[in-house]
Chain A
Amino acid sequence: MAPDPDLIATDIQQYLRQHENKSLLRFITCGSVDDGKSTVIGRLLFDSKMLFEDQLAAIEADSRKWGTQGGEIDFALLVDGLSAEREQGITIDVAYRFFSTDRRKFIVADTPGHEQYTRNMITGASTADVAVILTDARKGVLTQTRRHSYLVSLIGIRKVVLAINKMDLMDYGEKVFLDIVGQYTEFARQIGLTDITAIPLSALKGDNMIAPSGRMPWYRGPALLPWLETVEIDEARQQAGALRLPVQWVNRPNSEFRGYAGTLASGSVRPGERVRVQPSGRESTVARLVTTTGDLAEAVAGQSVTLTLTDEVDISRGDVLSSASNPAEVADQFEAMLVWMSEDAMLPGRPYLMKIGARTVSATITELKYKVNVNTLEHLAARTLDLNEIGACNLALDRVVAFDPYTVNRETGGFILIDRMTNNTVGAGMLHFALRRAHNIHLQHLDVDKVARAAQKRQRPAVIWFTGLSGSGKSTIANLVEKKLLALGNHSYLLDGDNIRHGLNKNLGFTDADRVENIRRVAEVARLMADAGLIVLTAFISPFRAERDLARGLMAPGEFVEIHVDTPLAVTEQRDVKGLYAKARRGELRNFTGIDSPYEAPENPELRVNTTDCTPEAAADLVIAKLRDLGVLG
């Protein structure tokens, strides 16, 4: 198990040959500090002799200073990394630990157990082959145990150890063990976990950790480390799948060579094999698998390769090379499970960036079907997901991508969502299946088109989007602009709170989620009207950059004109035409922009007007002048 010192001393070459062929197992440990998780990991590190003398000396010193074991070595201290956490005695993040035996190298994702760290646990579990779920023998299957098991099953881990720890405190009794196993097995079956190995442990005393314990002769199964050393890795299943190679990078050292580099997500590949480029659907044949030490005859899932094809095909980063006879699916609308990882709630309708494989696209959550109570597994109706919440949703992408269901392939079915403004990773998702809707709604070809409609009106369609705080003067200026357009003989329409909020959007309130939906609908209506050939004016606070960018993206280039009515908060609040600021300050009006809800000013609007320096009339003239500049008006 632990490295054999005799062999090292007598025949290092032989030892190295043996160790070249070790496999790699990644696992996650779930449980709270109270369950002894850090002690389990510390013990594995200690007993597999992966600790060096100076580390041991440091840990002995730390045990005297911080330890909870009365001066004895506190194994937990081996694994608590950041000083802030060490002082609080908790683990707040994912930490990775390494140890190895003669048979395997192990990477342990050590994650905290509390509900507020669901994000961390999902992160650690995403790369794990197996999970070790800890429970305290005195407490049995707790809510927390169920939550951890659900998350493990959600992220697609199939093999689980139920480690029933602290058996020393229950006199190593068999009945205690069997009762807990009984309770757990029933629950695990419901969530689809079937491959479970239950092991009674005392991490503190070292029972059933490295070798079977004499104190629990009634237990005939494996001890923890031997199980970890021999459990089968999903490798064979992954390699048996169909070829999937997300292209990371196109390698073009000169005009003679064009290689496609990436890590095989599943299957295997050989020269001569037919491949399909997805999503485009073109096909070609693999010519070479190129490496620094000569061409390979075959590469398998998990390897990083550079390959060339026999034909010149247009392939770029993010495309997927698939087996031609068994390609991936291609779609732009999906159902997926989503784990929310940001303090800013998920907003349906907001465009996020989605990274899947090597491709990044724009994605919108079109519908949140339900969220999951991770403690009871109940499905609850919800409009948003908060930090650490999990839900099932429908997603719409701005273009088609190649994918496999997550249960078939973690790498071509898993994705992250990125916030466009903060660039943070805000969500992680697992694709279930494509929504067929996308295929069945065919666009009706229309003979009378936008150009024809606009020509009849002798104008260029445009969307003039006014944004700014409540009371900044948007509607007043927009009204004046529309009068001027009418006078110039243009056909226009003004969308504002009065004609939208009372009709189309009367079912929406003022939460962030509703504001996003409000603007999404306004943008879609404006697009239709522009398509009808009209010059559309909109006057909405539209506080979020993401939605204004969405609106801009819906229109043709040059068609969207953003006008920031940049009246400072102090002025709008002092004007308070509708008395709303006073109400908001008194707390009678919630989610009021500028008071308790943010306003994100445009970074590069086509025009910025400030009504503290000019009259609404002058501002309207500036807008007309701008429209002439931009060529919207002749």
Chain B
Amino acid sequence: MASYTTNEIRGGMKVMIDNDPCLILENEFVKPGKGQAFNRIRFRNLKTGRVVERTYKSGDSIEAADVVDVEAQYLYNDGNHRHFMATESYEQYQMTETEVGEAGLWLKEQGECTLTLWNGTPLAVAPSIFVTLKIVETDPGVRGDTSGGGGKPAKLESGAVVRVPLFVQEGEVIKVDTRTGEYVSRVKE
């Protein structure tokens, strides 16, 4: 695999650190007018999720990681694993509930998502930024309330619970921003 020198490394690059694939968050060049230059690199370990800051002597290199993001479709949950299929290659992948993590709360069968693959095995899954999901459980709202102020919890078909305005009813389909977990709008089916 190729490697990058500290001067080439940018946020968003994926590299191997401590034998784990890591995502670069920030690379700060620290150089006194006279004296040794350093790069303070902040990265997230893609296996553990831990964020670490580490200092490198400028000019050192870090091995690149074979990490790619692919578009995929969530297929089904067999009780032990969640199954996915890459949209382009039709290649199928499986992940445990732990590996899927919180993203699992937003996954609907046949819904789109992004798989992060490391050496061909899935490291992480991310739902689309906006998803449309059906409300499977919520208290009946107060008639006439259209302000949206306050709101109430609503459980969605994928398992997530979001706050929705009082006028939104069980059985309705809503659009949610998965980055914040916030209700966006109702969707007419």
Indicate, yes or no, whether A interacts with B.
no
Binding site for B on A (CB under 8 A): none
Binding site for A on B (CB under 8 A): none
